[in-house]
């Protein structure tokens, strides 16, 4: 494939320039025409104005170089950018544009050299080159999930691409809402914990040293036990704080490496499903994600075996993913989904019963939709329970630490004043 630069006229008479990849000049002319443009000049290797052509992303970056440095991850979209791209593409397709013209319009609109624009330009060029949209999306697995690609592939087969894009938007909003709820639930406990640590550090660093000279005159034997423990802990932290930081950082990265392994991820995901306080949130989030993903795939015509494979890979929990893999193998043998899932003991009876109802009625997507909505409501309730229970626990823990420091200092002060016969 060679690169051809072109100058063309749009329908409104504006002059457009750009590059396309094609096998020869005739294919390049056809590619420009598929963009909804009237070719004026098409040349191999050189830009229409005589300058050497640059790849689309580099050309945009060069255009912006004079306006200041702009850092951007290449070939990347954030979740918000992906949602915006999907929404805009659906609007253009519903307005009557072809896929190639819609991608070309989006590429021109965001031609700023950012990671988002690079992805859109690459998708447009792939479509112009004759590649399917789903195959082009699969080039960016970190941007477009297997669920996204599979649903687009189903939309290509059914011819209802705009409907599929709308469903993708709805599903993405539901997933982002669930993640947002969980993050919000963790904000208050994190703030309380940080404030407690900050108060303890302030007391140990600025308040306690002001009394150390007085305590030293009393001698270790004259100090109350709590004061001796506080001074010993303070001396130990001063001596080994760097080691503690190193152990904390090393432990964090060791934990990340362990959870990146198959065994570690399964163990950690299983623990989250059993851990007090958080198991309700984790389980509801996983079951809602499972039901929502499988519903979307089946509703868009993805075969059941492929849908189970994709759902297991994207559900976000290795234990649940393993159960779905086992269910998929048994479905291959001709059994139903509900039976194998019930044998595994991971899914709750309500999920099994709803799936069985969907199998009997022949409307599995509708049954899964009810499951997803049920667990989304349960997720909100569990988040409320989590924050309600954790708030007094965190406050009590911080209060105990602060109270220990205050009582230890006050006991020593009282001992000093009593020794001085202060009445």
**Residue-wise DSSP of 19-74:** EEEESSHHHHHHHHHHTT-EEEEEEESB-TTSSBP--HHHHHHHHHHTT------T
CA distance 45 to 24: 11
**Is-contact 116 77, C-beta < 8 A?**
yes
Please name the residues in contact with 339: beta carbons below 8 A apart, sequence gap of 6 or more: 330
Q: Which two tokens stand for residue 212?
A: 């150390």
pLDDT of residue 11: 65
- The pLDDT mean for the chain works out to 80
pLDDT of residue 246: 94
pLDDT of residue 256: 92
User: Given 10, 25, 53, which residue is the final one in a domain?
Assistant: 53
Please name the residues in contact with 193: beta carbons below 8 A apart, sequence gap of 6 or more: 394, 398
Q: Is residue 67 part of a domain?
A: no
Per-residue pLDDT, averaged over 283-309, amounts to 87
Q: Is residue 7 part of a domain?
A: yes
Element (H, E) at 5: strand 2-9
* DSSP reduced 3-state for 4: strand
pLDDT of residue 4: 80
Higher pLDDT, 149 or 189: 149
pLDDT of residue 371: 92
The pLDDT tens digits of the residues spanning 112-127 come to: 556 778 888 888 888 8
Q: Which domain holds residue 47?
A: 2-53
**Is-contact 382 280, C-beta < 8 A?**
yes
Please state the pTM of the whole predicted model: 0.66
pLDDT of residue 264: 92
Is pLDDT above 70 for 217?
no
pLDDT of residue 327: 84
pLDDT of residue 395: 82
Quote the percentage of the chain above a pLDDT of 90.
9
Is pLDDT above 60 for 74?
yes
> What is the separation of C-alpha 52 from the centre of its chain, rounded to a whole number of angstroms?
40
Q: Is residue 136 part of a domain?
A: no
Per-residue pLDDT, averaged over 341-347, amounts to 84
Which phi and psi (to 5°) does residue 199 adopt?
-65, -45
The pLDDT tens digits of the residues spanning 360-401 come to: 888 889 999 999 899 988 988 888 888 788 878 888 888 888
Q: Is residue 176 part of a domain?
A: no
Q: Which two tokens stand for residue 301?
A: 């015509």
Per-residue pLDDT, averaged over 234-245, amounts to 86
End-to-end CA distance of the chain: 97
Q: Is residue 63 part of a domain?
A: no
pLDDT of residue 339: 84
CA distance 84 to 258: 35
User: Given 53, 68, 94, which residue is the final one in a domain?
Assistant: 53
pLDDT grade for 235, boundaries at 50, 70 and 90:
confident
Spell out the alpha helix ranges (H) of 66-114: 79-94, 99-109
Is pLDDT above 70 for 422?
no
pLDDT grade for 416, boundaries at 50, 70 and 90:
low
Is pLDDT above 70 for 344?
yes
Is pLDDT above 60 for 66?
no
Higher pLDDT, 132 or 219: 132
pLDDT grade for 1, boundaries at 50, 70 and 90:
low
Q: Which of 34-38, 153-157, 212-216 shows the highest mean pLDDT?
A: 153-157
Q: Could you say which DSSP state residue 288 is in?
A: H
Is pLDDT above 70 for 110?
no
Report the number of distinct structural domains present in the chain: 2
**Is-contact 291 368, C-beta < 8 A?**
yes
Q: Is residue 115 part of a domain?
A: no
Nearest to 371 by CA among 399, 398, 347: 347
Question: What is the residue whose two structure tokens read 């009282």?
Answer: 414
Q: Is residue 363 part of a domain?
A: yes
Q: Could you say which DSSP state residue 345 is in?
A: S
Higher pLDDT, 27 or 293: 293
CA distance 361 to 338: 13
CB count within 10 Å of CB 33 equals 14
Residue 253: CATH number of its domain:
1.20.81.30
**Is-contact 332 305, C-beta < 8 A?**
yes
Is pLDDT above 80 for 342?
yes
pLDDT of residue 7: 79
Same structural domain, 198 and 343: yes
Per-residue pLDDT, averaged over 230-243, amounts to 85
* DSSP reduced 3-state for 261: coil
Per-residue pLDDT, averaged over 56-60, amounts to 43
pLDDT of residue 243: 92
pLDDT of residue 104: 84
CA distance 85 to 110: 10
pLDDT grade for 280, boundaries at 50, 70 and 90:
confident
Please name the residues in contact with 347: beta carbons below 8 A apart, sequence gap of 6 or more: 287, 320, 323, 341
Q: Is residue 404 part of a domain?
A: yes
């Amino acid at each position: 494939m060679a690169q051809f630069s072109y100058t063309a006229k749009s329908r409104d008479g504006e002059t457009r320039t750009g590059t396309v990849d094609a096998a020869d000049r005739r294919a390049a002319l056809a590619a420009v025409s598929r963009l909804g443009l009237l070719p004026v000049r098409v040349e191999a290797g050189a830009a229409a104005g005589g300058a050497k052509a640059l790849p689309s992303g580099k050309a945009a970056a060069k255009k912006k170089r004079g306006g200041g440095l702009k850092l951007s991850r290449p070939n990347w979209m954030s979740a918000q950018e992906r949602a915006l791209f999907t929404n805009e593409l659906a609007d253009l397709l519903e307005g009557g544009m072809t896929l190639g013209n819609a991608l070309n319009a989006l590429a021109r609109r965001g031609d700023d050299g950012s990671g988002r624009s690079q992805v859109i330009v690459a998708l447009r060029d792939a479509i112009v080159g004759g590649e399917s949209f789903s195959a082009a999306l699969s080039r960016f697995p970190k941007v477009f999930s297997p669920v996204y690609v599979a649903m687009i592939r189903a939309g290509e087969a059914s011819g209802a691409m705009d409907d599929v894009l709308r469903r993708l938007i709805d599903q993405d909003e539901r997933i982002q809402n669930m993640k947002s709820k969980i993050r919000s639930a963790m904000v208050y406990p994190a703030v309380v914990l940080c404030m407690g640590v900050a108060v303890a550090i302030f007391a140990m660093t600025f308040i306690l040293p002001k009394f150390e000279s007085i305590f030293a005159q009393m001698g270790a034997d004259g100090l109350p036990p709590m004061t001796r423990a506080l001074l010993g802990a303070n001396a130990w932290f001063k001596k080994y704080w760097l080691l503690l930081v190193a152990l904390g950082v090393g432990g964090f990265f060791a934990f990340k490496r362990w959870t990146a392994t198959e065994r570690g991820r399964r163990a950690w995901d299983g623990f989250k499903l059993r851990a007090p306080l958080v198991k309700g949130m984790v389980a509801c989030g996983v079951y809602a994600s499972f039901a929502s993903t499988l519903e979307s795939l089946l509703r868009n015509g993805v075969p059941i075996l492929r849908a189970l494979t994709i759902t297991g890979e994207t559900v976000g929990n290795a234990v649940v993913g393993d159960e779905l893999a086992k269910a998929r193998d048994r479905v291959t043998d001709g059994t139903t989904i509900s039976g194998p899932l019930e044998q595994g003991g991971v899914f709750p009876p309500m999920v099994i019963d709803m799936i069985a109802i969907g199998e009997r009625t022949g409307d599995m997507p509708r049954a899964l939709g009810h499951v997803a909505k049920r667990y989304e409501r349960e997720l909100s309730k569990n988040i409320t329970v989590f924050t309600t229970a954790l708030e007094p626990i965190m406050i009590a823990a911080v209060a105990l630490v602060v109270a220990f420091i205050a009582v230890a200092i006050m006991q020593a002060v009282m001992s000093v004043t009593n020794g001085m016969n202060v009445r």
